[in-house]
Amino acid sequence: MRNPIFPITRAMPVRVVSRAMAAGVLVASGLAGQILDPARLVHPGTDAWPMYNGDYSGRRFSTLAKVNASNIDSLSLAWVFRIGAGESGFSGAIKATPVLLDGILYFTIPDHVWAIDARDGREVWNYTWQSRGGIHIGNRGVAVSGNWLYFETPDCNLVSLNLKDGTERWHTPICDLDQFYFGSIAPLVIKNHVITGVSGDDLDIPGYIESHDPETGAVQWRWYTHPNTGDAEAKTWPNSDAMMHGGGMTWGPSTYDPELNLLYFGTGNPQPVIAGKARQGDNLYTESIVALNPDTGRMAWYFQSSPHDTHDWDAIEVPMLIDGTIGGRPRKLLAQASRNGYFFLLDRTDGKNLVTAKFAKANWSKGIDAKGQPIPDPAKMPQPNGALVSPNQGGAANWPPPSFSPLTGLFYINASDAWSIYYIYDDDEKPEGWAGNDRGGFSQTSLEAIDYRSGKIVWSHKWEGPGTRAGVLSTAGNLIFTGDAANNFVALNATSGEPLWHANLGSGVTNGPIAYELDGTQYVVAGAGDTLWGFSMVRKP
Amino acid sequence: MRQTVWLILGIGAVALACRAQTLPDAPGKAAYQRACGTCHAAEMVLGRAMNRDQWGAEVADMITKGAKIGDADFPVIVDYLARSFPPAPSPASGSGRGAGAGRGGGGGGLTMGPNDQQVVDPAAEARGRTVYIAECVTCHGSKARGSRDDAPDISRGPDLVRSLVVLHDRYGGAIGPFLAKGHPMQSGKSSASLAQPQILDLSHFLHAMVDETLRGGPYSQPVNVLTGDANAGQAFFNGVGRCGACHSPTGDLAHIAAKYDPVALQQKLVFPRTMSLGRGGRAAISKPVMVTVTPPSGARVTGILVHVDDFNVALRDESGTYRSWKRTPGLKLEKKDPYAAHVELLEVYTDKNIHDVLAYLETMK
């Protein structure tokens, strides 16, 4: 069907339009030879971290064990790379997870890309995009395919650079800046598709996810995060106007199951954000976990984490793929610790809910329905005089990535018990945009280890201080790496949660840490504010 | 001729639209950069426009999201932002954009939208409002959000805040050609009869309506929080809430309602550690957490908690001396948060309790 805002038909292949530039590029890439072997994306070695989450599963588990619970005391600083050290003097937080390929780390902040040597942190090249605007709140990083790198810009472009020297190959629009869309996510490469998502919830615009041709950037398909008029799900909106302007941005990372050939991602808040009175109903497919066929853009299933949300609790947190065992039977599972305070476990073949359990304070639901979805309590929707709600707008969790260790069977996440007061500001019969917000608050963050099979919290390590937004890495060395609320990069025992090692980075960890091994040395890398820090066993054994 | 005027107007406006590219030098700049620059591009606030209360609420919000800003720096940073990025002037009519409106003025530290966005001229906006009321309001509504669902067919009109013609427009460049095609108006005339200056004015008015919808616009304040019952609030204060254990209406709370406006007071009551500006702009100082450290050998030391994590603890003792220890298994640490009772209440009181207690506090002028 067509959304009147965009002339592109949803879930229909779009004929690749061959532009002069694109044709030239095709020749160039053909000559370039050495193409990234797709097998390296499906089964990356320990010397690579070839995509945002390290692999398609989103587990952020490293099989490396050289650095482990018994020798972690020897982990020390190997190198430092400060992005603000250049002449431009710009600042900003590194929210990107670096991508590692052939000994080089590639990472971003909005409008900037760096390639640095993964062994010593020295710059190989950097690239700056001349921006036309858009929200510069963060950029999650790059995707790679063949000799090419892909990233999104705040002013709505997908840009392709040459991995070798950072020169631009092409750029192509992915959204309309005039409607206040912007780009922030790390794209995901699946076969001959570059998957892009969009951000922006200031005006009432529809969300969508797109697939682009890796060679030309041309759109292969676009899938809107709302139903087709006439679908049963369209009845979750009062009218098609509300549905076509209903939000549901796709600003979270995607995961992918090559066997099922399904792409998984979460969708963001409905619009208007806080005032829900002109969009009565569940508002599908906002705040949902969605499975699509990446070749066609056709939906296989959906599960809604927050029906009719009014708290900005985007369900874009990593839809993590776990191959686990339930009741003695091997199962293909999908787990999400959602911003709304609930942990969901689904069967990723069909989206059926297996577990719904709170992992943080959440006072907004009246219970769980037959589908496993929380039922919103109208009393805890924003009110003109204020409603005390947990979690707060920042959420029990947010975009910082969690981790799962197949060795411990535990799902690790920095979870916040948080409260704030939600107000309706615009009592108009047709509120638009936000029309309200939350204010103030209290927050206490803990690193939690959750049994994926039951959703039960096995252990919880309470951080001193109000909160941390750090991602998590687990390793075969029985270690968890993350950031605390006091600017420390911390390693903990993955089985017990005991803190073992730390380094004060002067700023809180702002991305998801990664691990890799080069020339027999294991490195652990984390971003904190404007600095990327590399740690390794520097001393000879 | 008309085209020439059009061009000149356009160029002038484009020049206006260029944003400052660097942070202004003013007292507090260093504190601002230190506190905010580790997470944000410091330039993020460029182009924003808010009053001191709004900047205060925003910075307080960032503290709850993890920004490390102490009591001393809070008013300094708020003052820097309020002085450097004050509200845009209101239109002559006085009924247009409020403080902080405009596409640069979003919430959450966000400078949003395209760099070449139209900068609304308040005088033109006021003239455009007159044209709009005379020719458009019946079908497109007072806020340009379209007709009501129950409007008769003859006066049904689409939402102009969501219109792509409006969002892609700059200074009438898209609205003008659309209206030139002819469109029925309230006066019975065709929109093709509108003069170029009227179209430019209409364009300013419509962009102002878009701006008002954005975060930081006039609809960014609670409307009325005084809905509670003061007697019920007093009963909760002395009963379940056990507020009297620490507070007294004639002691520390005397004249509390004169110090804070109702919204700030409600926030302060539920989240006392949230920094906020009182009436008259004075920053409220929150009480520190006290800590007692007993090292494996040596005397116990009590002081104001400066820092604690899983590995180290630091305090400032009674003499003002900074002291720190490594947290070893033998070291004992006791924290005393003066606001612990408020944290416990988060899971005790209902929204009605909060509104009632606020009504009770409002009696303490």
Residues 174 to 203 of B: which have CB under 8 A from any A CB? none
Q: Quick check: B60 pLDDT over 70?
A: yes
Candidate from B43, B115, B146 with C-beta closest to A132 = B115
Measure B53 CA to nearest chain A CA, in Å: 13
Q: Provide, as residue numbers in chain A, all residues whose Cβ is less than 8 Å from the Cβ of B310.
A: 463-464, 484, 488, 490, 499, 502
Q: Mark yes or no for CB contact A202/B40 under 8 Å.
A: no
Average pLDDT rounded to a whole number, residues B304-314? 96
Q: Give the per-residue pLDDT at B91.
A: 41
Per CB-CB distance under 8 Å, the chain A contacts of B111 are: 133, 135-136
Q: Do A423 and B222 touch (CB under 8 A)?
A: yes
Residues of B in contact with A463 (CB under 8 A): 309-310
CB contact under 8 A, B113 and A202: yes
Beta carbons of A429 and B148 less than 8 Å apart: yes
Q: Kindly determine whether residue B213 and residue A433, on different chains, have CB atoms separated by under 8 Å.
A: yes
- Which residue from A minimizes the CA distance to B271? A441
A contact test, residue of B29, B140, B223, B310 with most A CBs within 10 A = B310
Residue B362 has pLDDT above 80, yes or no: yes
Q: Considering only A348-352, A452-456, B115-119, which range has the smallest mean pLDDT?
A: B115-119
Residue B41 has its nearest CB partner, among A90, A202, A440, at A90
Residue type, A306: S
Q: Which residue has the higher pLDDT, A187 or B21?
A: A187
Give the model's pLDDT for residue B14. Answer: 36
Restricting to B residues 204-243, those with a Cβ less than 8 Å away from any Cβ of A are: 210, 213-215, 217, 219-228
pLDDT over 80 (residue A381): yes
Question: How would residue B92 be classed by pLDDT, with cut points 50, 70 and 90?
Answer: very low
User: B149: which chain A residues are within 8 Å (Cβ-Cβ)?
Assistant: 239
Contact across the interface for B44 and A136, Cβ inside 8 Å: yes
Confidence of residue B124 (pLDDT cuts 50, 70, 90): very high
Nearest to B342 by CA among B274, B271, B251: B271
**Tens-digit pLDDT profile for residues A274-283:** 999 999 999 9
pLDDT tens figures, A118-159: 999 999 999 999 999 999 889 999 999 999 999 999 999 999
What percentage of chain A carries pLDDT values higher than 70? 91
Instruction: Report yes or no: B84 at the A interface, CB cutoff 8 Å.
Output: no
User: Among partner residues A92, A245, A423, which is closest to B41 by beta-carbon distance?
Assistant: A92
Question: Is the pLDDT at B150 greater than 70, yes or no?
Answer: yes
Cβ of A179 within 8 Å of Cβ of B64? The answer is no
Q: Is the peptide bond before B32 cis (omega within 30 degrees of 0)?
A: no
Verify whether the Cβ–Cβ distance A386 to B351 is below 8 Å.
Answer: yes
Hey, is the C-beta of B164 within 8 angstroms of any chain A C-beta?
yes
SS3 of chain B: the string is CHHHHHHHHHHHHHHHHCCCCCCCCCCCHHHHHHHHCCCCCHHHHCCCCCCHHHHHHHHHHHHHCCCCCCCCHHHHHHHHHHHHCCCCCCCCCCCCCCCCCCCCCCCCCCCCCECCCCCCCHHHHHHHHHHHHHHCHHHHCCCCCCCCCCCCHHHCCCCCCCCHHHHHCCCCCCHHHHHHCCCECCCCCEHHHCCHHHHHHHHHHHHHHHHHHCCCCCCCCCCCCCCCCHHHHHHHHHCCCCHHHCCCCCCCCCCHHHHCCHHHHHHHHHCCCCCCECHHHCECCCCCCEEEEECCCCCCEEEEEEEECCCEEEEEECCCCEEEEECCCCCEEEEECCCHHHHHHCCCCCHHHHHHHHHHHHCCC
Query: What pLDDT does residue A39 have?
Result: 66
Architecture of domain A1-46+96-226 in this structure: Beta Barrel (2.40)
For A395, which residue in chain B has the nearest alpha carbon? Answer: B65
Is A178 in contact with B113 (Cβ distance < 8 A)? Answer: yes
**Is the separation of the CB atoms in A535 and A514 below 8 Å?**
no
Of A137, A392, A499, the CB nearest to B110: A137
Q: Where are the domains of chain A?
A: 1-46+96-226
B267 with A133: Cβ contact below 8 A: no
pLDDT at B279: 67
Are the C-beta atoms of B341 and B348 separated by less than 8 Å? no
Q: Is the pLDDT of residue A410 over 70?
A: yes
B335's CB contacts (< 8 A; 6+ apart) are: B289, B290, B291, B305, B308
Distance CA A49, CA A42 (A): 11
CA distance B272 to chain A (A): 9
| Closest A-chain CA to B356 | A385
Task: Tally A–B CB contacts below 8 A.
Answer: 204
pTM as predicted: 0.89
Evaluate whether A92 touches A110 at the Cβ level (below 8 Å): yes
Model ipTM?
A: 0.90
- The shortest C-alpha distance from A51 to chain B (Å) reads 23
Summarised one tens digit per residue, pLDDT across range B167-216 is: 999 999 999 999 999 989 999 999 999 999 999 999 999 999 999 898 87
Which residues does chain A have within 8 Å of residue B145's beta carbon, measured at their own beta carbons?
428, 430, 432
Residues 6+ apart with CB under 8 A from B6: B172, B196, B200
Determine which of A129, A388, A443 to mutate to test the interface with B (most B C-beta atoms within 10 Å): A388
As separate numbers, helices (DSSP H) first and strands (DSSP E) second, chain A gives 3, 36
Task: Look up tokens 């951080």; give the residue.
Answer: A463
Q: E-strand spans in A58-192?
A: 61-62, 76-82, 99-101, 104-109, 112-117, 123-128, 143-145, 148-152, 157-162, 168-173, 188-190
Name the amino acid, one letter, at A140: R
**Mean pLDDT calculated for residue range B346-364:** 97
Are the beta carbons of A440 and B146 separated by less than 8 Å? no
Q: Do A388 and B310 touch (CB under 8 A)?
A: no
Question: Cβ contacts (< 8 Å) between B164 and chain A: which residues?
Answer: 5, 178-179
Higher pLDDT, B47 or A353: A353
Residues of A recognised as catalytic: 312
Give B278 to chain A, closest Cα distance, Å.
15
Please give, rounded to a whole number of angstroms, the shortest distance from the CA of B89 to a CA of chain A.
Answer: 22
In this model, does residue A498 exceed pLDDT 60?
Answer: yes
Q: Which of B112, B226, B228 sits opposite A180 (nearest CB)?
A: B112
